[in-house]
Structure 1
Amino acid sequence: MSDPQDTASAEPARSDWERKTLEQLAFATLREQQTARRWKNGLRLAWLLFALLVFWLGWSYNAPTASPSMPHTAMVAIKGEITPEGDASAENIMAAMRSALEDTGSRALVLLINSPGGSPVQAGLINDEIHRLKKLHGKPVYAVVEESCASAAYYIAAAADQIYVDKASIVGSIGVLMDGFGFTGLMDKLGVERRLMTAGENKGFLDPFSPQTEAQRKHAQAMLNQIHEQFIGVVKAGRGDRLKESSEMFSGLFWTGQQAVDMGLADALGSLDSVARDVVKASEVIDYTRHENVAERLAKRFGAAMGEASVKALRQGMALR
């Protein structure tokens, strides 16, 4: 039989243990709730700061460097590869051109080009917009080439009223390409089996690990030929009688600036300053190019980080429930 005295002393000990356990659970729950509240408050403050930053960017974005009422030459730079993303996208270039030509002080627009080319779709959009803006505002548009104006970049330049180059610039490359790799022979040697499932017999014809049929090759070539003809049509429409056509002009070759002038692909030698001074007759140059500044890059990174933090906070809140 147990001693009544021992039983009596064990009950208070068990009572103390239960009380301490409940206190610990209560404090743990309180700490979790406090952490969740801090996360929520921190996220709200961060989003507020982010909104203020975006608002500030909207007001300060690419403000003109001189008074709009002053006569000036408007300039938009097209630099680097022409892609849907980046500074040389159709969205950025077209918005900059609109701002430049809508300015009452601008006497003409100069497209300062230094690009090896890129997307024919982006170039086509910009080319069409140049023609529309020239009719809308009645102001001339000139292209000035620095290092290079090739492929899709020349597609854009062809819409300008005149093209000026340096004697050593690279101009032309009027052609279209589609490249890739084929590894079917290597896979056969290695004994690797490609297991590709598609719905549609030609769905995977650009897959580098699958053989290409003659019909697929002809289909791709027909597409390239059609885009090439579109390119040629744009150049002929833009340059008109100034072109001295030859069998090599639309072959994809490129030439120096001096050769381009001789062939009618460009009009004369010149620079941004000489065109502004001697052609536009407005030596003051204002840059309307849309640039992604440091604050915008930080805002994008901040937005991505805040999105990740929000997901974590939501998961934590769900766990607390």
Structure 2
Amino acid sequence: MNNNKTPGSADEQLADIAKEFVRQNKTRTRWRMVLTLLFIGYFGFISYLGIEESGLLEETLKKESPFVAEVVLSGTIQTAGEINADDAMQLLDDAFKAKNSKAVILRLNSPGGSPVQSSQIYQGILRLKKQHDKKLYVVIDDVCASGCYYIAASADEIYADESSIVGSIGVVISGFGVVEAIKKLGIERRLYTAGKHKGLLDTFSNEDQLAIAHIKKNILDKSHQNFINAIKATRGDKLSDHPDLFSGLIWLGKDAEELGLIDGIADADYVASEIIGVDVRVIYEKEKTLLEELTEASAKGIALVISNKLIAQEVISPLH
């Protein structure tokens, strides 16, 4: 009797084990589904908040009616800098091509940089204006000097704040000379070149006067003249005949207006609503990396906490 029950008991045990295995698998599957749905919901919620916070939805809706495309360029002008021809022209191309954009405002804030990158952006803007038959207005923020003004000169009209720094129409090459210093330290400079003037800008060698004259005549002066020609080609009769206009000096907004470097004192909002005649503006600017966005958000959060703390202390302190 016992021998007959043993196989049955083993079968029952195996069946129970199989049922338990299936039950556990179903439970795990349910939890996986629940967790997946929760993750999708959470991700969707965060994405919605991100879109809402970034204003992407609002910007998209704005583009359905007439608007002013506002391109923002800020930083130094270099091939791999904050402002470079490739990135700048992509933004400007998008702004000009936008179906409902009635004009383009270029917001500039830069101390200058590469004459090549500046020239490429200048020439690119002239081409876009001609292709799309749209006007471009430059609005200067804190500073627009040197290569930045080269870019600004491509505009139909230029505006700035009374305290904006404008100008520095010139070209510079700089360096250091430490010949006497290394002599005092007992250091011997060893420089080997193929070409008599190949080491002309070497910090540790004596100045080569012939090479310096060459740089002045063929690099600095010619680059400066290219800069001046570009400005005269677009600003034309607006420019004054002030003897220091192209000397590399800088001026504040009002003086820059008197010199013909800018057309007036105004901000982007005024230019859009009063000069162009369209209140709605859509911002075009270089996309930030996730790390940059997180860093900026963290910095803003910390600043807000500190600000609230300071305000609370100011309110409470008079009571003590």
TM-score, normalization: structure 2? Answer: 0.71
Q: Distance in 1 between matches of 2:77 and 2:140?
A: 15
Residue deviations 1:223-257 (CA, integer Å, cap 9, x gap): 10110001111111111101112110000000010
Q: Distance in 2 between matches of 1:148 and 1:129?
A: 22
Instruction: Please state how far the C-alpha of 1:297 moved relative to its aligned partner.
Output: 9.1
Instruction: Please state how far the C-alpha of 1:63 moved relative to its aligned partner.
Output: 6.2
Partner letter of residue 158 of structure 2? I
Instruction: Please state how far the C-alpha of 1:69 moved relative to its aligned partner.
Output: 2.9
Aligned residue for 2:75? Answer: 80
> For 1:226, which of 216, 219, 222 is the aligned residue?
222
Q: Distance in 1 between matches of 2:56 and 2:76?
A: 25
Partner letter of residue 124 of structure 1? S
Gaps of 5+ in 1: 1-59, 299-321
Partner letter of residue 216 of structure 2? Q
Partner letter of residue 123 of structure 1? S
Instruction: Please state how far the C-alpha of 1:296 moved relative to its aligned partner.
Output: 8.3
Aligned residue for 2:147? Answer: 152
Residue deviations 1:270-295 (CA, integer Å, cap 9, x gap): 10100010111111111111223226
Larger RCO, structures 1/2 (Cα 8 Å, 6+ apart): 1
Aligned residue for 1:183? Answer: 178
> For 1:101, which of 96, 103, 108 is the aligned residue?
96
> For 1:240, which of 222, 236, 245 is the aligned residue?
236
Aligned residue for 1:217? Answer: 212
Q: Larger deviation: 66-75 or 117-126?
A: 66-75
TM-score, normalization: structure 1? Answer: 0.71
> For 2:60, which of 47, 57, 66 is the aligned residue?
66
Residue deviations 1:58-103 (CA, integer Å, cap 9, x gap): xx99968233332111011111111111331111110000000100
> For 2:249, which of 253, 258, 280 is the aligned residue?
253
Q: Secondary structure at the match of 1:109?
A: strand
Q: Distance in 1 between matches of 2:291 and 2:134?
A: 34
Q: Is the 8 A contact 1:87 1:292 kept in 2?
A: no
Alignment CA distance shift 1:297-1:218 (3 Å):
farther
Partner letter of residue 226 of structure 1? K
Identity between Structure 1 and Structure 2 (%): 41
Residue deviations 1:117-153 (CA, integer Å, cap 9, x gap): 1111110000000100000000000000111111000
Aligned residue for 2:163? Answer: 168
Q: Does 1:134 align with 2:144?
A: no
Q: Larger deviation: 153-162 or 61-70?
A: 61-70
Q: Is the 8 A contact 1:62 1:288 kept in 2?
A: no
Gaps of 5+ in 2: 1-50, 295-320
Alignment CA distance shift 1:212-1:233 (3 Å):
same
